[in-house]
Structure 1
Amino acid sequence: MKTLDTLDWIFIGIYFLVLVGIAIWIIRKKQKNTEDYFLAGRNVGWFVVGASIFASNIGSEHVVGLAGAGAGNKLPMLIYEIQAWVVLILGWVFLPFYARSGVFTMPEFLEKRFDARARWILSVFSIIAYVLTKISVTIYAGGVVVSALLGIDFWTGALSTVVLTGLYTVVGGMRAVVYTETLQAIVLVVGAAALTIIGINHVGGWESMKETVTPEYLNMWRSASDPDFPWPTLFITSTIVGVWYWCTDQYIVQRTLTAKNIKEGRRGTIFGALLKLLPVFLFLIPGVIALTLKMRGELEWETPDQAFPVLMSNLLPSGLRGLVAAGLLAALMSSLASVFNSCSTLFTVDIYKKLRPQTPERKLVKTGQIATVIVVIIGIIWIPIMANISGVLYEYLQKVQSYIAPPITAVFLLGIFHKRINAQGAYVTLIAGFVIGAIRIVLELVKGSLNPDGMLYKLGDMNFLTFGAWFFLLCIILIITVSLLTTKPSEEKIANLTFNTISPEEKAKNKNSYNWIDIAISIIVVAIVIGVMIFFNGK
């Protein structure tokens, strides 16, 4: 690892000065009420919405973990990064329902469609999921990045970035988050693109790299009998996780709810989908470049998760190295800022406000700030436990999401597409899903002490992709069965909230919110996704 020099520090310093400037400008605009604090006053344009979606998604866990997947023979994980087509589903299918309902949060939408029980469960479920996946993973990845770049120990690196990010998120709210994320997305893309181009040139081009790692290594489609990544369940489970993450999760959807109207929100998701095509080239390929150089004896790293920072510090010239370092810090901070704000929104709007409906707006904003601090502390405590679940960070993230996503995806999808689905079906499915997911995580942690011939061991040892696919099927059967065996939902619960009940006026309004350019760009995004799937077939 080469350490950063004076020019690098100048670039990092400039980045942080601009970031602080934006944060101060936002903070000076007083947060009058919860809509201002949690949804930036619902007055954001499509460019900022799209950049914010991208920056929220691409955190340091992607930079570190996706490059680690590329360097650690886990190329099938690429399928999670070409889900731009699922981002389009958010804009074209789900967003009109969310916008019509006028909600702040996803649990609030479930209350409108089902009942208060569904809202409570999803609120608690989401906050736990954020601690298990987003917060701890991002802090861990940030510690790896910062300690590698700055030559300081892991915990100092992790905690310092948490405190810095927490500071402007707590004070500035959602407006500070979305505008700083726009800057962070630009810095990250420029920096990582430079590393990919320089890296490809350094290894002698794509074909030279392919010869070193072998064409089979670059195949994302393994056989159906592959013990790690069987292609049928890889495709099914990644799609289930994708719909949960991109279309129903507060963390991402909150960005679209900040838009001025459906038109700006949808265009934001289309722009976000275009940006979502970049990670394959920006992060996964540098991981493969790092592996190529290691195989040739030109680079050394201990674990795949170190591939990106080591490659960056050795390949990039002075100054540019500082810019990419700033991009990595940007990725870490944008992810943390997003999840901090989403957690405080969920806790304040869905839990605290429900328990104390008469609370004044200013007190609710203050409650959201306190909630942010508490969630950060819990996330830090979880990090040592997280390290036991999986060796490669990105795989850990996808594993846990495969246990969280199925019940939520089933409830949202069927809730919107099937008017007969009722509150009882949603309630039973969410509770059962929460319990089954928790059991699977525990069994995976303790399977070494279980009888290898026993049922519990088999459940804990089952491939996570196969488990996710069967788990989703179980949730679908459960929600349909319970709903059909109990009473129909009232007209009030389904009016304009399911596909069969949209009024002619709302249909006309939705039709006026897009044009042929929106449709054309969406088709291009889908075509590029199919192209990437065909390209990475090991030939």
Structure 2
Amino acid sequence: MADNTDNENTFQGLEILDYIVIVAYFLFVLGVGLFVSYRSNRSSLSGYFLSSRSMHFIPVGASLFASNIGSGHFIGLAGSGAASGIGVAAFEFTAIYFLMMLGWLFVPVYMASGVYTMPEYLKKRFGGERIRIYLSVLALLLYIFTKISADLFAGALFITQATQIEGDYAIYISILILLAIACLFTIAGGLSAVIWTDFVQTVLMIIGAFILCGIGFQETGGYNQMVESFFKAVAQNRSHSDPNDSSSELCGGVPDNAMHLVRGVDTDLPWTGMLFGLAINSIWYWCSDQVIVQRSLASKDMIHAKAGTILAGYLKLLPLWIMVKKASEFELLMAGRVFVLVLVVISIIWIPIINASQGSQLFVYIQSITSYLAPPICAIYLLAMFWPRCNEPGAFAGLMVGLIVGLIRFGLEFGYAIPPCGSGEAKPPQWWYDIIFSIHYLHFGIILWGITGIVTIVVTLLTDPIPEKHLYRLTFWSRHSDKVRIDLDSEEVEPPAQEQEDVQSLKALTSHVEDVSFVRKCVNFLCGIDNKDKSEEPQEDQMAIAELTPEQKATEAALFLKEEPFWKRIVNLNAVLIMAITAFIIGFYA
């Protein structure tokens, strides 16, 4: 937006010094990623996917923040803020409560169960393969439709606008540049490289955002003057809602409730949807989404996991002002890297849909897609975690019904989108509005979550329960149990995933590496698999792990959750403090 005075400050493009800074930034981040990739343990599942569970709370917290805050926020969140005011910041503030839920309720169960991924947790919790496979596919679709494609689009849009590169293919060239840089160290280095580059980018983002914030307040005359000027500002290009009627309402006006976080039920951000519908989406995203939870699982212990969520919570206060398994280890490591490539290719194909959706409000697009696909996942994870009676037939039935209902809304809305104000395009018939758009996407998320939960509960109660021997350390109520768990689909005692990997690693250490071809050695190097003969290396620690009885392994899994009393009180106090600060801010801007 801009006022009606003049265009003296019209953006003229970047200068040489700007390009030098941008190139230096990319080279620095790339250098950090490659260095960590080289130094990290990339030859094991724990090393690649969980950074060997050795991370301090500072990089964990920074990575949680950076995994969520990206180009989609700097472009989408800022765009929605300019269009409708600060109400969209409620998405950021409410996330703080669900970060605390992640650290105090969900991570203890995930860590005690010894899993690497969220689908793996559901495999252990319910048995069978269909729920794990389904949720793996759905999680990939969600990231294609929202996070990956939206962030690529937003990042590429920023590059093309800042450099003033024109042409139909400019945005795709920018996307390829971003992908090349990210994939180079992500595919090779695993979670360690991602976390440390996230840490670097968090520091740079915060420093840059504060500088930009200071410049902005200086240019506008301070906070109060900025708010006053905002309500007087108008878009540089404004159209009439009906292009053929000059007396019709102008598009692009500032709404009267722009400075309110809590808004009426019939507004663009209804308080009912923001309180209940957003909670459902947030539990899915912050407590069961692989990309987010994986960061916390990399923590060295529970204190660092909780402290990481607290640090991320403090950082989340800033945006309002600044902006599958029966496979070998080699096959799993390859699959993890190949999937990155597959996802980004599909995401690029989806980008034109984003460009044409939701009246150019990118953040609204992301939240609406989430409300149509994520609530069933949230319902199942909550029931799996807190209701031991929940079983596989019930969970699967709930997921299938939820998927069908969600896809119907998804297809109807994006099959006939509302044209932007002033475009002159034909509007959908009134009955379309009455059926589809009369229910806000956040309200629809509540309905979808309720349908999934009801179906799951009913089918569960009509079918046999899961015996207790299969549930130790897989629910919140049994997270401290030291009893031996017998995994579903098997009557053999199976140690947690971490111990399984240690045994596999021991076997690899006690045997000589076979001669392999030059091509295979190159592939091994790319995947972080060592070609050296390790039969002569010390084996005492690995042997000790392998010789543990199932009872001892169960006890160790339970003891992993033990917290030092002093630091436990510190993180608990900080959790209460950050939630109180958040409540005050929400109340102040309500």
With normalisation by structure 2, the TM-score equals: 0.75
- Give yes or no for the alignment of 1:464 onto 2:474: no
What is the identity, as a one-letter code, of the residue corresponding to 2:171? F
Aligned to 1:62: 73
Q: Is the 8 A contact 1:125 1:434 kept in 2?
A: no
Matching residue of 2:407: 438
In structure 1, give the amino acid aligned to 2:469: E
1:512 to 560, 563, 587: 563
Single out whichever of 46-55 and 514-523 deviates more from structure 2. Answer: 514-523
CA RMSD of aligned residues (A): 2.1
Task: Show the counterpart of 2:346.
Answer: 378
Q: Equivalent residue for 1:88?
A: 100
The offset of 1:39, in angstroms, is: 1.7
2:31 aligned to 4, 12, 21, which one? 21
- Partners of 2:118 and 2:288 within 8 A in 1: yes
User: 1:507 Cα shift?
Assistant: 7.8
Matched, 1:192 2:169: no
Correspondence for 1:497? 474
Give the Cα separation in 2 of the matches to 1:425 and 1:386. Answer: 35
Distance 1:126 1:198 in 2: 40
Q: Which residue of 1 aligns with 2:501?
A: none
| Residue in structure 2 matched with residue 4 of structure 1 by the alignment | 14
1:479 aligns with 2:456: yes
Q: 1:453 aligns with which of 423, 431, 437?
A: 431
The aligned runs of 1:35-50 (5 Å cut-off) are 35-50=46-61
Query: 1:484–1:451: structure 2 CA closer, same or farther, 3 Å change rule?
Result: farther
Which residue does the alignment assign to 1:104? 116
- Cα distance in 1 for residues equivalent to 2:476 and 2:49: 28
1:127 aligns with 140
Q: How many Å apart are 1:58 and its aligned residue?
A: 0.4
- State the 1:533 CA deviation: 0.8
User: Aligned equivalents of 1:185 and 1:428: distance in 2?
Assistant: 41
Equivalent AA in structure 2 for residue 417 of structure 1: F
- Report Cα offsets for 1:280-299 as digits up to 9, x if no partner: 1110xxxxxxxxxxxxxxxx
In 2 relative to 1, CA 25–225 (structure 1 residues): closer, same or farther, beyond 3 Å?
A: closer
Q: Match of 2:258, as an amino acid?
A: Y
How far is the alpha carbon of 1:503 from its aligned partner? 4.2
Equivalent residue in structure 2 for 1:425, among 389, 394, 400? 394
Q: What are the equivalent positions in structure 2 for 1:77-226 lying under 5 Å apart?
A: 77-82=88-93, 83-115=95-127, 116-152=129-165, 153-214=170-231, 216-226=257-267
Find the counterpart in structure 1 of residue 525 from structure 2. none
Superposed displacement of residue 460, structure 1 = 5.9
| Structure 1 pair 501–363 and aligned structure 2 pair: CA distance change class (3 A) | closer
* Contact 2:257 2:263 (8 Å CA) reproduced: no
Higher RCO, Cα 8 Å, sep 6+: 1
User: Is the Cα contact below 8 Å between 2:112 and 2:480 reproduced in 1?
Assistant: no
Shift of 1:457: 6.4
Choose 82-91 or 202-211, whichever is displaced more. Answer: 202-211
The CA distance in 2 between the partners of 1:460 and 1:73, in whole Å, is 19
Deviation (angstroms), 1:229: 2.1
Deviates more, 1:435-444 or 1:146-155: 146-155
Instruction: Note if 1:409 corresponds to 2:378.
Output: yes
Partner AA of 1:527 in structure 2? A
Identity fraction in percent: 35
- Per mean C-alpha deviation after superposition, the further-off stretch among 158-167 and 136-145 is 158-167
Match of 1:298 in 2: none
CA distance, structure 1, for counterparts of residue 377 and residue 133 of structure 2: 13
Name the CA distance, whole Å, in 2 between partners of 1:20 and 1:137.
Answer: 22
Of 244-253 and 21-30, deviating more is: 21-30
Give the deviation of 1:157 after TM superposition.
1.7
Distance 1:129 1:278 in 2: 26
Partner of 1:534: 587
Flag the 1:484–1:155 CA change in 2: closer, same or farther, 3 A: same
Partner residue, 1:291: none
Q: Provide the C-alpha distance between the structure 1 equivalents of 2:102 and 2:92, rounded to a whole number of angstroms.
A: 16
Q: How far 1:504 moved relative to its partner? A: 6.0
Alpha-carbon shift at residue 151 of structure 1 (Å): 2.2
8 Å Cα contact 1:447-1:460 kept in structure 2: no
Report the equivalent of 2:272. 232
In structure 2, what is the Cα distance between the partners aligned to 1:22 and 1:69? 33
Question: What is the distance in 1 between the residues matched to 2:480 and 2:188?
Answer: 41
Query: Take 1:224 and 1:460, find their aligned partners in 2: how far apart are those partners?
Result: 14
Query: Secondary structure in 2 aligned to 1:453?
Result: helix
- Give the 3 Å change call, closer, same or farther, for CA 499–365 of structure 1 in structure 2: closer
CA contact (8 A) 1:443 1:460 kept: no
Residue 419 of structure 1 and its aligned partner are, at CA, apart by: 1.4
User: In the comparison of the two structures, how many residue pairs are matched?
Assistant: 463
Q: Corresponding residue for 1:259?
A: 299
Where 1:254 maps in the other structure, the secondary structure is: helix
Query: Residue type matched to 2:178 in 1?
Result: T
Cα deviation for residue 377 of structure 1 reads 0.8
AA paired with 1:59?
G
Aligned mates of 2:574, 2:559 — CA distance in 1? 22
Q: Distance in 2 between matches of 1:499 and 1:87?
A: 17
Mapped contact 2:13–2:162 kept (Cα < 8 A): yes
**Which residue of 1 is the match for residue 45 of structure 2?**
34
Q: CA 1:414 to 1:149, structure 2 compared with 1: closer, same or farther past 3 Å?
A: same
CA–CA separation in structure 1 for the residues paired with 2:271 and 2:33: 44
Alignment TM-score, normalising by the size of structure 1: 0.81
- C-alpha displacement at 1:475, in angstroms? 1.7
Determine the C-alpha separation between the residues in 2 that align with 1:490 and 1:94. Answer: 22
Matched residue of 2:465: which SS?
A: coil
**Superposed, which structure 2 residues align to 1:268-283 within 5 Å?**
268-283=308-323
Counterpart Cα distance in 2 of 1:179 and 1:43: 13
Structure 1, 235-244 or 459-468: larger mean CA deviation? 459-468
User: Which structure dedicates a bigger proportion of its chain to helix?
Assistant: 1
Aligned to 1:398: 367
CA contact (8 A) 1:53 1:252 kept: yes
For 2:343 and 2:113, the matched residues in 1 are separated by 28
Structure 2 Cα separation of the partners of residues 186 and 27 of structure 1: 20
Unaligned runs of 5+ in 2: 1-10, 232-255, 418-426, 483-556
State whether structure 2 residue 356 is matched by structure 1 residue 388. Answer: yes
Contact 1:247 1:253 (C-alpha < 8 Å) held by counterparts? yes
* Alignment deviations for residues 40-89 of structure 1 (CA, whole Å, 9 cap, x no partner): 22221111111111111101000101111110015322211112111111
